[in-house]
Chain A
Amino acid sequence: MTLPPPPLPVIALNRLAFGPRPGDAEALQREGLARWLDRQLAPGEPDDAAVERHLADARLRIRYAAAEGWAAMDEERTLASLDKPIEALWPLADNRKPMPGAERQMPRLEVAAATVIRAVHGQRQLREVMADFWHNHFNVNAAGDQTVAAALPVYDREVIRRHALGNFREFLEAVATSTAMLAYLNNRSSRAGIANENYARELFELHGLGRGAYLNALYNRWRDVPGAAKGEPAGYIDQDVYEAARAFTGWTVEDGAGLGGDVRLPATGRFTYVEAWHDNYQKRVLAREFDPFQAPMADGRRVLDLVADHPATARNLCAKLCRRLVCDEPPDALVVLAARVWTENRRKPDQIARVVRAIALSADFARSWGGKVKRPLELVASFARATGTDLTATNGLLGELDGSGQKLFGWPAPNGHPDIMDAWLGAAAMRRRWSLLLGLAENWWKTGAPDPARHFSGPVAAGPAVDHWQRVLFGRDPAPDVTAAILAGMKLGPDATLAPGSRDGDARLRRIAAFVAMAPPFHQR
């Protein structure tokens, strides 16, 4: 089942987009990748008309039994949380208020539904790919925490999507001051005295410098880290984590917490800085001295500056971007090239867009194929796009995605869903891949199914039908062994006639589409 790599437009649309729709590869071929990138990376409206329409039409069902404090519920709702400000969502985070868990989880389901809809229907495909990348890079778990769930629509809209192609230093501060991250990594409860290290540690290890720059096993004292004497330490150790945690004390959320006496913070869910909770004394982070009693938030901002400017951060982020956009084990030269673009443009408002562009236009990008496997979201979206399915997101589909291993906004650890092939090839996960494809083809979850009449103008022989779905789904010439495998398994002769529009014909043509999609070439990126 090993085929030669497809042409560049198909490669690009599988890695810089959620797969080609019919005609997309030809259009990209005419336009050229550079101009396609110009359009995809240009600033623009958040959503196009097709997305707006599908978002407005989407419905999610919510159902729960009556209990002390609430009545039974069974209704379909629009994705009403998506545009709400944090103040309007914040009551969902209030654990003193009796409320069924299903209500508290609605924002996560709505953002997940919108994510699927945008991946399938959005014109701004590269931004959707990058939003998915950043949601995993700056992972929060909305499935395990009602505060994170309540804050998720704002996090998705104002933090991740707003900065997905922007400037990394600005992005870092948007994350550090987001309700979702302040709750998820506990900085909102961090106080002078003994600070909470959770956020500071993951800022270094995951968001910024990366675990390769964590030198704690080698050095016990900051001044022993190579380069520290010049103020340019090669990496960080736990002493940097302790000090950075102190720098972020006071960065918190208006969650009604007591400030002493009868005074309390308002309960709005907004970011706030509480000077009385900040550790004001001198600090030393990454071999730089911080004087005591700085202006409000200056300590934390300076840590973000140091993290954003550190060469290890450029290296870590660019390696991850190359892993997402090119292959699981990107060539070192490509990472170095991307890191140079990253560093040169680190004060530019479109720093990230420039790096993405450099990676996409590199020779390594065009050369590599099959070094990645699609994650379940990519599998779903690319199947819907290739087959021209007018897909909507439903509870059933989202539930199946949850079970596939890619529970959107529900990964428990702060490192996000894994981005290497091995993590997605467990036995039950493979079974879920096949289920997702068959379920979409046969409309198990009322998402809308492919319409054979759009693909076949009249009765078609089984052999050419299998070949057609291969052209559509693989973006290249059909493989005879795939055709043979499917016809044999379905006990169909190559000349057996299948009539679109008839019940039996549609059922078989849809099943053939699912089987073609189960073939290995459709799972590669």
Chain B
Amino acid sequence: MKNNLILYAVLLIYILLNAFVLAPANLPLYNEIINPLMWIVICGIAWWLSKDSSLRIKDENNKTQSLLIVMIIYIILYFLLGLIFGFQKTPYSKDLLNILTNVWSFGGIIFFQEFIRASMVKLESKKTINFVIIVILFTLANLSFNNFGDHFVDVKETFIYSVTILIPLVVSNGVLTYLSYIGGARLPIIYRLFVTLPEFIVPILPNLDWFVTAVIGITLPLGVFIYLNYIHVKKVERFSRRERKKYSPVVYVPIFAFIAVTAGFVIGLFKYQPVAVLSGSMSPTFDRGDAVVVKKLTSAEKDQLKKGDVIQFTSGSKFVVHRIVKIDNDGNGNRVFITKGDHNNAVDANVVGYDQVAGEVAFIVKYIGYPSVWLSGMVS
């Protein structure tokens, strides 16, 4: 216990020093030399303190293979997402020497950090409190404290920062620490190299929005945990066939499929997309807090629109869902739509052009739009 207390203290000193002194100073060679050097020193201390402890790891090769399979599948799926969302160039230098420097600066410290984590696990492998402290310390150590306050300027920024960075970092550190318990430093190193290095090595990355980034950031570590836990339990614990079945990853396939389909539905990958109703202008057809499912329209389908249909269209930077009360002509032979909210007394001020029409309301689901209403109320 005493040895681990020393390690906790050393890591805490690093975190404070890094957050308040070194990172804000923007020293030259910080990434290449100063930061890795600090991790090497802590690594040396961890090695010295834990040299008499050991952790029995069973079936290491099988776990390594299983993790490699999951991570390669992740890489394949990650890049395939680019075919849906488009690609972006990586901002990192494509010069060979710079690529190697980046790999050293950001990949190298993974080895030192995971060796330290494994040492801490070895020193105190039975206590839950040790697990919790390791997760907290490594989360803080990997958080960027430059502009930390900028992420909390309003509710929206705070939400996006939490779901794309903070929560995934905590969840993945939980899983990395678990991997350290069942497989030493090797498993977390493999996991982190697969997640960290592509953006430095591959010239293009999928252009993912924050929502997809958040879904991946949380489901990847959970998926890794479920599969590796199954592999671990199957071989190591003396469970009956029935007990083992409980841990089978097959049980979770429907859950992950459900998450993937729901995420795709919400961000509009499919023909139908849910939209929360934020105003009462269409009452009583649907009210604030309901959700409508909008069917995206092709040009042929737009031609079929008739008076009385409820359509979704863009108005400035916003989407509006109102009813068509008249179909007109803009003078150049293009159809334009005059729209009105059912609850409003007058028609909308601007006519809706053909290109502004996005979709048609297919059906209404009562009340499920309330979370969006509350969230947008907090944001504005």
Answer whether A and B are interacting partners: no
